[in-house]
Every structure is written in structure tokens, then in C-alpha cells.
């Protein structure tokens, strides 16, 4: 072998080894691995873990390879749960057609439909749930009401607030009543549901407002002065006819009067817990009680 050829081979070997030595760890991963994710029952893939130091260009390449694999496997959708500390990856994902689906706290969720036909991914939740508790003292026909401090009109209403994620509406009513008034109570039934769209207090989305009937376990008022201007036990008949209240409060006061006079079984939507189709899960069904046979 000539000296020139030997020298050329040594240089070629050095360049090859050097390129491998100085390539980033992410670049090496691109050659041999893909993004890993959980497959749901609908055929979608959810990715929550990303290489910590990967840059946009590296992630763009990694995502391209992963999408190719998922498409070959017949997956129909991809969900990327991108933490705020890696928000740079959202721009790279957008290059592949991903768009924001929703965000909560420190995670943004991007989605892409990769199945056949038009995009069939559901929109994110469009409603907020507000729950109020009508605490009725059946012995004297009075109900617990408050006036909100942050309202322009000081109208009597039932204490309440927004339901937390994963919280049953009865638990919300009991919690909110105690936080606002200091009165302890227990859930008895669902009375009404109000639906309102383009609600200013729900960021322009839809609002569901539920009113529950509660039974008092204590009666002394110690209301929250940050949220409430006034709090009192008012006679139901007075609340039903006063002009210092909201239309829904007046209507429910009349409904409660009817129940007080003719039996709450005529107005109550009671709750029953039933097993869901998802293994090990349950749901609450609210309905009028069935007549006993």
C-alpha cells in the first residue's frame, strides 16, 4: 500500500471518529430511538417525556421519525404534553402541524390528527361548573342566604362557588357554604340546573350553575368578610317575593316552599352512585326517586 493511501485512510478514520465524538447525545439518539408514549383505547399516542436538553432542530427531526413510526402502526392521533420549561419544543411541533389543544398550570397539550379523514379530535372542556347550596331549616321555614361583596347589585343569593376538578357537586355545595358562612351542612338533593353561554366570568365559555338542597348541621353564622357583605337566615316566603334577590334565587325559593309544604320528594333530584363502563370507576346519577313497589 502506498504511503499516500495509508495517510488518506488515517485521515478518513480520524474524521469519522471525530464526527462521532463531537456529535451531541441527542443526535445519537435520533439515529436509534424514537419518542415513547402511551397508547389509549382510541388509538392515540400520548407523549409526556422529552429529552431534557434537546433543541428545536433536534426535536423536529426526532418528532418526524416518531410520526413516521406511529403512522405505520395505524395510530390516529398524537398528544404532546409539553412542560413550560420546554416550551421551545412547541414551535418545533408546530412545523409538523401540531396545534395547541389546551393548557393547565405548567403543561401545554398539543395535538395532531394523523388518522384517516378529517380531524375528529374533541375540543377541550367548554364549561365551568358553579354550585350553590340552599340550606333549609325545616323547623322554621328559613334558608341561608348571602350578599356577595364583589357584586354591583347587593342581591340575596344562595352561597356557592366553582366546583374543583374531581369534586362531586354535593361536596362543592357543602364546602362553599361552610367557607362563605361558617355553617356546616349535609347534601340532600339537586334542585336545579342553569345553563348560560358566553359567560363573562367563564372566559367567554359556557357556565353550568347547579343549586343543591342542604340540611343544616349548625346554625351560627360566621361569614367570610372578604367574599360576603351580609349573611342571614331569611324566611322562604319573604325570599320568594322580595325584589332584593336574583330571578333564579326567587324561583328556587318558591320551589323550596312547595317542597316544605308538600314534601321534598316532589322537588328533589336524589343521587345514586352506579358503576361506570370503565373498570373500577363510578358515576353519580341524579333523578327523581322511583316509587317504592
Exactly one of 65, 179, 238, 244 is catalytic; name it.
179
What do you get for the CA distance between the two ends of the chain, in Å? 103
Query: Are 67 and 35 in contact, with CB atoms under 8 Å apart?
Result: no
What is the torsion angle, in degrees rounded to the nearest 10, for the CA atoms of residue 38, residue 282, residue 125 and residue 228? Answer: -130
- Strands 206-216 vs 127-137: parallel, antiparallel or unpaired: parallel
Return the beta strands (E) in the chain as ranges. Answer: 38-39, 44-47, 77-83, 99-104, 107-113, 127-137, 142-148, 160-162, 185-196, 206-216, 228-235, 270-275, 282-287
Annotated catalytic residue 179: yes
Q: Of 255, 256, 232, 226, whose CA–CA distance to 244 is shortest?
A: 232
Q: Of 200, 122, 42, 252, whose CA–CA distance to 111 is shortest?
A: 122
Tell me the three state secondary structure of residue 209.
strand
Cα–Cα distance for residue pair 136/191, rounded to 1 Å: 12
Main-chain dihedrals φ then ψ at residue 258, nearest 5 degrees: -60, -45
Tell me the three state secondary structure of residue 37.
coil
Query: Are 77 and 41 in contact, with CB atoms under 8 Å apart?
Result: no
Q: Of 217, 226, 244, 218, whose CA–CA distance to 145 is shortest?
A: 244
Query: Are 93 and 134 in contact, with CB atoms under 8 Å apart?
Result: no
Write out the catalytic residue numbers. 179
Amino acid at each position: 500500500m502506498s504511503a499516500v493511501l495509508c495517510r488518506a485512510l488515517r485521515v478518513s478514520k480520524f474524521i469519522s471518529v471525530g464526527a462521532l465524538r463531537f456529535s451531541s447525545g441527542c443526535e445519537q439518539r435520533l439515529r436509534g430511538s424514537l419518542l415513547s408514549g402511551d397508547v389509549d383505547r382510541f388509538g392515540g399516542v400520548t407523549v409526556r417525556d422529552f429529552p431534557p436538553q434537546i433543541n428545536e432542530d433536534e426535536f423536529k427531526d426526532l418528532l418526524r421519525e416518531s410520526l413516521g413510526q406511529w403512522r405505520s402502526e395505524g395510530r390516529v392521533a398524537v398528544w404532546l404534553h409539553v412542560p413550560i420549561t420546554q416550551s421551545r419544543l412547541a414551535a418545533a411541533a408546530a412545523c409538523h402541524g401540531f396545534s395547541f389543544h389546551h393548557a393547565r398550570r405548567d403543561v401545554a397539550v398539543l395535538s395532531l390528527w394523523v388518522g384517516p379523514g378529517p380531524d375528529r379530535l374533541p375540543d377541550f372542556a367548554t364549561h365551568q361548573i358553579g354550585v350553590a347550596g340552599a340550606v333549609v331549616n325545616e323547623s322554621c321555614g328559613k334558608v341561608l342566604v348571602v350578599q356577595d361583596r364583589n357584586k354591583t347589585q347587593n342581591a340575596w343569593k344562595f352561597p356557592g362557588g366553582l366546583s374543583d376538578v374531581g369534586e362531586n357537586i354535593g361536596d362543592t355545595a357543602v364546602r362553599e357554604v361552610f367557607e362563605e358562612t361558617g355553617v356546616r351542612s349535609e347534601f340532600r338533593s339537586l334542585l336545579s340546573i342553569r345553563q348560560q353561554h358566553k359567560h363573562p366570568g367563564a372566559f367567554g365559555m359556557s357556565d353550568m350553575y347547579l343549586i343543591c338542597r342542604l340540611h343544616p348541621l349548625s346554625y351560627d353564622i360566621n361569614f367570610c368578610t372578604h367574599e360576603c357583605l351580609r349573611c342571614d337566615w331569611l324566611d322562604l316566603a319573604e325570599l320568594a317575593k322580595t325584589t332584593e334577590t336574583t330571578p333564579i334565587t326567587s324561583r328556587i325559593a318558591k320551589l323550596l316552599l312547595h317542597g316544605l309544604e308538600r314534601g321534598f320528594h316532589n322537588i328533589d333530584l336524589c343521587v345514586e352512585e352506579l358503576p361506570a363502563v370503565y373498570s373500577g370507576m363510578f358515576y353519580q346519577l341524579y333523578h327523581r326517586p322511583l316509587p317504592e313497589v
